[in-house]
Amino acid sequence: MASLLGTSSSAAAILASTPFSSRSSKSAVFSFFPSSGQSQGRKFYGGIRVPIKKGRSQFHVAISNVATEISPAQEQAQKLAEDSQRPVYPFPAIVGQDEMKLCLLLNVIDPKIGGVMIMGDRGTGKSTTVRSLVDLLPEIKVISGDPFNSDPDDQEVMSAEVRDKLRKGEKLPVSLTKINMVDLPLGATEDRVCGTIDIEKALTEGVKAFEPGLLAKANRGILYVDEVNLLDDHLVDVLLDSAASGWNTVEREGISISHPARFILIGSGNPEEGELRPQLLDRFGMHAQVGTVRDAELRVKIVEERGRFDRNPKEFRESYKGEQEKLQNQISSARSALSSVTIDHDLRVKISKVCAELNVDGLRGDIVTNRAARALAALKGRDKVTVEDIATVIPNCLRHRLRKDPLESIDSGLLVVEKFYEVFG
């Protein structure tokens, strides 16, 4: 498991964890200096009893990251920091771009859809729309002080250390927090993304410290990559691996640490700057195309709304507070009702028939279309998927999976729509 680290050296070295000092300092420090003590053929190293076998100097020890509970003063400081952040453009104020907004909302309702790739012209509000999603994100239950946002009820998104504590019957404090949205900058290093083990500190101070990266922070949240088509290939491979497995593994100098990294991957970019590799495109659950607004009246409205926001962001946000709360409640209700939404067997068969006749590789297209249709039905307040729900989401779920050659452009969705009406009648 992720919490088991094997080390071997001429002198026995055992890792024992020490608590985090605060949420803002999330490095887990592991000491290698043994403490004295021996009992019935067992020695105590750093407070851990380890069986001693003659002629061997290799140990496998379970380590745990212990995080202290956040104090009221720290919570107040965090709230003040949030209040002083740059104001975000409200989601309901975005004019047009209905396809992009729908794809984002469906992913918030059902994160297992697998994210969305947004491609479009320059200056069409791609980044603004994604970042405006922050206000709509619901609250989730997390283990207090855990740097990986572990879910107290789901072991699939729970760190190994938390699982070990729960097996031992320990009661861990639970708190509510908003889903994280983490920005991945293009210039980020692999250590910043994955996390790092400080080997220098091991040599100079005798301790090994693991500093969680952006993937740890994005667990159970959203990882947003602006201009994803310009991202370095080695970071693309890291994202592919974590998105596929739901876990991130950091290995340095014979030490391996793993933690859950299940996130909604949202990317945006301009196709003029280059297309994504088909392997990465397939990892995005949905694909949204954004075009420049051509209607003059609509363009004037967008410019006026943006001008109002720039003049007085707080007043502008207040004017949309009612719509914002209504949409938040709608999303919350849809998330609660999602498990009860059903889709008829014959509709499932027709979805798979469309995928098969379009020669879509793998089954990811079938799965995502089913999930997106159910999420749309839940958003509309229904408990059963209709043909109209499938017709709305299937172009966004399949069109980016039709491209086989990296030099080809992504289909606009016409092929998918034609095949849909052919199969569904």
Catalytic residue numbers? 364
Residue 219 makes CB contacts below 8 A (sequence gap 6+) with: 148, 149, 150, 157, 259, 260, 261, 262, 263
Are residues 172 and 143 in contact, defined by beta-carbon separation less than 8 angstroms? yes
- Residue 329's alpha-carbon distances to 96, 100, 104, 381, 389, in angstroms, are 22, 20, 16, 12, 21
Least Cα distance to 166 among 175, 155, 177 occurs for 155
What is the 8-class DSSP label of residue 401?
Answer: G
Distance, in Å, from the CA atom of 10 to the CA atom of 23, rounded to the nearest integer, reads 36
- Residue 42's alpha-carbon distances to 17, 36, 59, 194, in angstroms, are 20, 11, 12, 36
Distance, in Å, from the CA atom of 329 to the CA atom of 147, rounded to the nearest integer, reads 28
Beta strands in 2-108 (DSSP E): 4-8, 16-18, 28-31, 38-39, 42-45, 48-51, 58-62
- Residue 412's alpha-carbon distances to 103, 282, 361, 389, 409, in angstroms, are 16, 16, 18, 19, 9
Structure tokens at 243: 């998105």
Structure tokens at 323: 């719509």
Beta bridge partners of 20: 67
Beta strands in 237-276 (DSSP E): 247-252, 255-260, 264-269
Beta strands in 122-281 (DSSP E): 139-143, 174-178, 181-183, 195-198, 207-212, 222-226, 247-252, 255-260, 264-269
Least Cα distance to 146 among 30, 19, 4 occurs for 19
Structure tokens at 391: 């017709």
Residue 343 makes CB contacts below 8 A (sequence gap 6+) with: 370, 373, 374, 384, 385
Amino acid at 175: S
Distance, in Å, from the CA atom of 297 to the CA atom of 99, rounded to the nearest integer, reads 20
